[in-house]
Structure 1
């Protein structure tokens, strides 16, 4: 027992040093402003594990909104029972953190403002968005958005429908159910079109789809383009159980 005393003293000293560190002298508003420059996953998420104060500030609705189906107290600010209500309440530029565990049912949810949707689990399999048969898509994008660390599953139709804006899909799993009608299923469908304008205006239109480190399963095609976007810069890594895609869809 005597040999362990220096170890405990060292830990206590370290804890006191952290409590009195320069950053903790700042008020809550300053610390939240610093946290706002961190990427939601993993940096801002990791800050919430440091102490109770940092957890409160890192999870503050000023920094991101949360979707948690188990929430019973709907008066809690920044927490919503469904993705649809979170998207409706979000401001342009907000980040929505979707709780892991279970299935979040999504059907033709239109996103018309710049948002970032992120799964809260360690892996994309931990957070699943499910689109039932009879819906065109799970999520429909009409603005610049980012999707990360999520699994999107569609029974029929497409997982993601891109209308306009710059859509970035990073570290996700897109699944189309395999059945006799799988020729009607596509992981991503883009219908973005370009108006008849000068080439200089075309460059500023900003309609594109970028997919990175994403596994695509089932469906007739990974991407279906019915507008003026074309598939470019394709990179595929094949393993025994899956295909990983790195590609961009841009104006032709």
Structure 2
């Protein structure tokens, strides 16, 4: 009798052990989805940090999270640019981008950005942990690094202008988040300005998604250095909801530029 009970107990233990192993060895439910479904889920994640962190999970997630359908990449370290969605410089990436695309600019080294016009809604994001990791240089003789003629977002980037402005806003809604805008100090410092907006009510061309908000510039968690003025505006624009933190080496800004 005792032998039969011991045998039954062994069977129960083996059954529990087998069940645990089958559960642990089985793939995660989300990994059971096909690539198209999983990529659609990734499209709802914010590019930084959520989609970026998803790319660190495994090889499959990295491939899907970095797929050109979700964002384009600017990476000069890659030798073979036949891979779709990868470009050697920012200008070619912007030319190839579709409205609504996100462009991830690789960290490390300096990227040239001079008088690049953006006429479609895009998001430009630095690929480093800090804005100082991804540096865009606007050379002397250029009016600006970027000229925005559509609703766009710039995040986690350092933009340096030798003379002129870092970002030139013409129309649309421009969002600047977690960036460093720097005008080099020189005898012509009065000609430099980190942000210039020339939008006015006469040339407003808002996108369908921005009709209720109109044109303007929103800046948050952004450090501004150099230039005689932090922001230069014309037309009917005015600074609103301004918050500034003054430090010994920098000014940190939160503000909106809106129509009166």
Q: Same fold (TM over 0.5)?
A: yes
Q: Are residue 89 (structure 1) and residue 96 (structure 2) matched? A: yes
Q: Which has the larger radius of gyration?
A: 2
Q: Structure 1 residue 228: deviation in Å? A: 1.8
Alpha-carbon displacement from aligned partner over 1:190-217 (angstroms, at most 9, x marks no partner): 00011299xxxxx747110000000000
- Partner of 2:182, secondary structure, is strand
Within a 5 Å distance, the mapping from 1:32-47 to structure 2 comes to: 32-47=39-54
Q: Which runs of 5+ in 2 are unaligned?
A: 1-19, 205-210
Match of 1:117 in 2: 124
Alpha-carbon displacement from aligned partner over 1:28-47 (angstroms, at most 9, x marks no partner): 00000000000000000000
Match of 2:158 in 1: 151
Q: Are residue 208 (structure 1) and residue 221 (structure 2) matched? A: no
Alpha-carbon displacement from aligned partner over 1:132-179 (angstroms, at most 9, x marks no partner): 000000000000000000000000000000000000000000000101
Pick one of 236, 241, 256 that aligns with 1:233. 241
What TM-score, normalized to structure 2? 0.87
Q: Is the alpha carbon distance of 1:240 and 1:67 closer, same or farther for their aligned partners in structure 2, counting shifts above 3 Å?
A: same
Q: Which runs of 5+ in 1 are unaligned?
A: 1-12, 198-202
Q: Is the alpha carbon distance of 1:234 and 1:89 closer, same or farther for their aligned partners in structure 2, counting shifts above 3 Å?
A: same
Match of 2:181 in 1: 174
What TM-score, normalized to structure 1? 0.89
Structure 1 outlier segments of 4+, above 3 Å: 16-19
Within a 5 Å distance, the mapping from 1:59-98 to structure 2 comes to: 59-98=66-105
Q: Structure 1 residue 18: deviation in Å? A: 8.1
- Partner of 1:195, secondary structure, is helix
